Amino acid sequence: MQIGYCRTSTAEQVAGFEAQEQKLVATGCTRLFREQVSSVAVRGELDAALDFVREGDTLVVTRLDRLARSTTDLLGIVATLERKGVSLRVLDFGGSEVDTKSPTGRMLLTMFAAVAEFERTTMLERQRAGIAKAKAEGRYLGRAPTARAKLVQIRELRAAGLGASEIAAKLNVGRASVYRLLSEDAA
């Protein structure tokens, strides 16, 4: 049995999500596990897929980055699958397909996962260096504080007798931000 797993990081990535689903169904997946969460979040559907697969099954993903967040994560998933007698099939693996049923497929998967993790780490280092440089030059100020910009309205609504939850909902800010700003007033 072929079991498909598709994931996007956000719910706004509709086209990419639908394309993954279509590709998995066209490949012959009879069961799909779907989720729209960041790879660093708890991936309940991935856990469900790993629990669902049985000996002789194949877990199918469209691309490697839809499955694992790092080489260590990937190798852990592959080890779980191997213990259960399940193979992993990646449909788009640099223009070709790879399947862990063969030793060559397992080797390629491990090598490419390491390269992908290296690229991601390098990109994050460059990004951090760029942000540090921009901050030093006074060009990077970070995200604009949304709740603090509404401090006058928060105070007015509080004076009118509204609670923090009501204020937060009315002004579309976080309840914790309302509490924080009101506690600063009290201090």
Question: Which residues carry out catalysis?
Answer: 9
Q: Which amino acid is at 187?
A: A
CA 131, 134, 136 angle in degrees (round to 5)? Answer: 110
Question: Dihedral of CA 63/68/74/76: which sign?
Answer: negative
Q: Give the chain as a 3 state SS string.
A: CEEEEEEECCCCCHHHHHHHHHHHHHHCCCEEEEEECCCCCCCHHHHHHHHHCCCCCEEEECCHHHCCCCHHHHHHHHHHHHHCCCEEEEEEECCEEEECCCHHHHHHHHHHHHHHHHHHHHHHHHHHHHHHHHHHCCCCCCCCCHHHHCHHHHHHHHHCCCCHHHHHHHHCCCHHHHHHHHHHHHC
- Tokens matching residue 29: 């997946």
